[in-house]
Amino acid sequence: MKLDLNEHPHRRYNILTGEWVLVSPHRTKRPWQGKLEKTVSEKRPTYDENCYLCPGNIRANGQTNPDYESVYSFINDFSALLSNTPNGEIKNGLLRAKGEAGICKVVCFSRNHSLTLPLMSIRDIEKVISSWQKEYQELGALADINHVQIFENKGAIMGCSNPHPHGQIWAQYSVPLEVGKKTIQKLQYWEKNGGSLLQDYLIQEINLDERIIVQNEDFLALVPFWAVWPFEVMITPKKHYQNITQLSNGEKTNFAHIIKDVTTKFDNLFETSFPYSSGIHQAPTDGEEHHEWHFHMSFYPPLLRSATVKKFMVGYEMFANPQRDITAEQAANTLKSLPNIHYSLNNN
C-alpha cells in the first residue's frame, strides 16, 4: 500500500543528518485556542539614537560605533566564546568538561535601522555576502578555529535583542554537533558514490519539481523533503562548492537575488516582518580538504498558521522526535505562489 504523503502520518529521512522527522499533516485541522504572539508593525526610523548598533552610537560596553556606510562587523561585546579560553579537559568520574576557545562577531547589514534583508537592494545584500566571505576566510585561517558559523536571528520571538539589521558569526575550536553529523553523512556518501550527496539530491529535486520555490542560473531554493519547521527553506548552489568563498562575482549576485526572493516571500506569506533563524553550513576550517561538503543556507521560521501563531518545539518534539504539521510539498506550493515584490511596496 502506497502512502498519501499529504494525508497520512509518516516519517521522512534527513539524508544530511541521518535523522528521521515525523510528519502529521492532519494536525492543521485542529481548532486553535492556544497562544497568539503579539506582532509589531510600527515603522522603524532609519536611525535610532537608542540603538547600540546604529552608526555613531555608544554600545553597551561603552565603545562608540564608527559612522559606517554599509556593512560593519565587530567582536561581540558579550561573546559566548572567548579567544583566550584554554582548550583543556576536566574529568571527574562520569563528569567531563572541555574548554572552548573562539570568537563571536556581530555583522551589521546596513546603517539603515529600518531595513531587513527583503527590503535591501541586491547590491547591498551582495556586500553582506562579501563580508561573510571575508570573515569565513580570515577567521577560518586562525590556528585554533576549526569551524565558522554564520547565522541571523530575525525577530523578537526568535530571541533577537535588537531590531537593527544584523547577524552573527561564531568561530570556534571544535566542530559543532549539527555540522559533525552532516560531515559524517556526506563523507560516507562521497566514499561510496564518488560524488556530492547534496548535489545528487538537488538533481532529483529539480527532476521532480515538487518542493522548489525559486531558482536562478546558479542557486536553488526549496523546502527540503525532511523539513522540520513549517516553512523551512534551504538555499544551495547548483555547483559543488564547499564554502562561500568559491563563488564568482556573478554567482554572488545570484545568491543575493535568491536570498531577497525567499525572504520577500516569507514576509508576503502573512504580510508581516517574518521571523526566522538562518544559518550557513559549509566545510569546517580544520585544514582538511572536505571534498564531501556542499555549502547551503537554511531558514528555520516558526510561524505556522498566521503572523500570530508560532510553532513551538515542545512535548513530543523535545522528548521524542521532530514533528511537523504540514508537508514539505504544501509549504513549497504556498511559498512558490507568493509574489517576489514585497507586500509593503505594493501598498504604496
Tell me the pLDDT band of 27, cut-offs 50, 70 and 90.
Answer: low
Can you tell me whether residue 205 is helix, strand or coil?
A: helix
- Encoded amino acid at 230, one letter: P
pLDDT above 50 (res 130): yes
DSSP letters along 97-152, please? EE--BEEEEEEE--S-TT--GGGS-HHHHHHHHHHHHHHHHHHHTSTT--EEEEEE
> What's the whole-number average pLDDT of the chain?
92
- The confidence score (pLDDT) of residue 337 equals 96
For the CA atoms of 323, 329, 330, 335, what is the dihedral angle to 10 degrees? 110
- The confidence score (pLDDT) of residue 156 equals 85
CB 296 within 8 A of CB 281: yes
CB 256 within 8 A of CB 129: yes
For the CA atoms of 243, 254, 105, 224, what is the dihedral angle to 10 degrees? -70
**Active-site option among 164, 166, 290, 294:** 166
**Residues 158, 140: Cα–Cα separation, whole Å:** 27
- The confidence score (pLDDT) of residue 3 equals 66
- The confidence score (pLDDT) of residue 294 equals 98
Q: Stretch 70-89: mean pLDDT, rounded?
A: 92
Q: Which helix (H) or strand (E) holds 35?
A: none
**13-22, 38-47, 98-107, 293-302, range with the lowest pLDDT:** 38-47
Beta strands in the chain (DSSP E): 10-14, 19-23, 72-75, 89-92, 95-98, 102-108, 147-154, 166-172, 212-215, 219-222, 233-237, 276-281, 296-300, 303-306, 309-310, 323-324
Tell me the pLDDT band of 286, cut-offs 50, 70 and 90.
Answer: very high
- The confidence score (pLDDT) of residue 33 equals 41
Q: Which residues contact 314 (CB under 8 A, 6 or more apart)?
A: none
**Residues 13, 17: Cα–Cα separation, whole Å:** 9
Q: Which domains does the chain have, with CATH numbers?
A: 42-346 (3.30.428.10)
Q: Which helix (H) or strand (E) holds 226?
A: none
Tell me the pLDDT band of 37, cut-offs 50, 70 and 90.
Answer: low
User: Would you call 113 a catalytic residue per the annotation?
Assistant: no
- The confidence score (pLDDT) of residue 323 equals 87
Q: For the chain, give the percent of residues with pLDDT over 90.
A: 78
Q: Which helix (H) or strand (E) holds 272?
A: none
- Encoded amino acid at 290, one letter: H
Q: Which of 78, 64, 51 is nearest to 168 (CA)?
A: 78
Question: Which three cell numbers mark 92?
Answer: 571527574
Q: Stretch 110-131: mean pLDDT, rounded?
A: 98
- The confidence score (pLDDT) of residue 298 equals 98
Question: Which three cell numbers mark 25?
Answer: 499533516
pTM for the whole thing? 0.93
Please write the tens of the pLDDT for every residue from 137-187.
999 999 899 999 999 999 988 888 899 999 999 999 999 999 999 999 999
pLDDT above 50 (res 32): no
Please write the tens of the pLDDT for every residue from 195-252.
999 999 999 999 999 999 999 999 999 999 999 999 999 999 999 999 999 999 999 9
